[in-house]
Amino acid sequence: GAVVSQHPSWVICKSGTSVKIECRSLDFQATTMFWYRQFPKQSLMLMATSNEGSKATYEQGVEKDKFLINHASLTLSTLTVTSAHPEDSSFYICSDSGNSYEQYFGPGTRLTVT
Amino acid sequence: GQNIDQPTEMTATEGAIVQINCTYQTSGFNGLFWYQQHAGEAPTFLSYNVLDGLEEKGRFSSFLSRSKGYSYLLLKELQMKDSASYLCAVRFSSSGSARQLTFGSGTQLTVLP
């Protein structure tokens, strides 16, 4: 299957700072990528759909000005958490759109805001 | 809404068989996936069903009944390493993106020796 990488795998930042997370599709040109957030012992919640060359589509309740998504190329999407707060601490996972039968997930990024 | 329901927790014994159920809203159904997720890791793909019936893949099998909005994941010959969260995810044709998945809350399976 396709390989999706994420960087960094974990990050600790201070409250009020911004953090950028990269998601790369290594062997698949993805016009669409998905960003999920997962709190401890909960399931994946879709935050937004990242579209190459156009604006991201955000799910209800997700602040687009706080979670900036850029999908400038077919293999790279970035999520920037701006003015991070402790409640933003979570596991962020991206996936590419895959094929009809599978969606390929990155290894995830653990964000801790102190 | 697009509710997907699965049990929160299950416990089974090593070597046994366990069935994890998932129910979902049938309107707009366009495929069902099962993923395995170990703590702190990303989900890994287990199975995909879009037609009724049973799909078998080694120790894991997945069943789908579209009319009932029901699926199950069957794990045979349980091993300790099977302790993980199992996520049921559905693709709905009404979603914003054709490939968007909606996830259930996950079933935490604990395999005991």
User: Which of B42, B100, B106 is the closest to A46 by Cβ?
Assistant: B100
Instruction: Return the pLDDT at A100.
Output: 60
Looking at per-residue pLDDT, the higher value among A96 and B51 belongs to B51
User: Which of B5, B22, B85, B100 would you mutate first to test chain A, the one with the most A CBs within 10 A?
Assistant: B100
Highest mean pLDDT among A52-66, A96-110, B62-76: B62-76
Work out the mean pLDDT of chain B and round it to a whole number: 92
Take residue B73 and report the two structure tokens written for it: 């994941």
pLDDT digits (tens, 9 = 90+) for B72-110: 999 999 999 999 999 999 988 876 666 788 999 999 999
**E strand intervals along chain B:** 4-5, 9-13, 18-24, 29-37, 44-49, 53-57, 60-65, 70-75, 84-92, 101-103, 107-112
Q: Is pLDDT above 60 for A30?
A: yes
Cβ contacts (< 8 Å) between A34 and chain B: which residues?
Answer: 97, 100-101
User: Which of A4, A34, A36, A44 would you mutate first to test chain B, the one with the most B CBs within 10 A?
Assistant: A44
Per-residue confidence band for B70, with pLDDT thresholds at 50, 70 and 90: very high
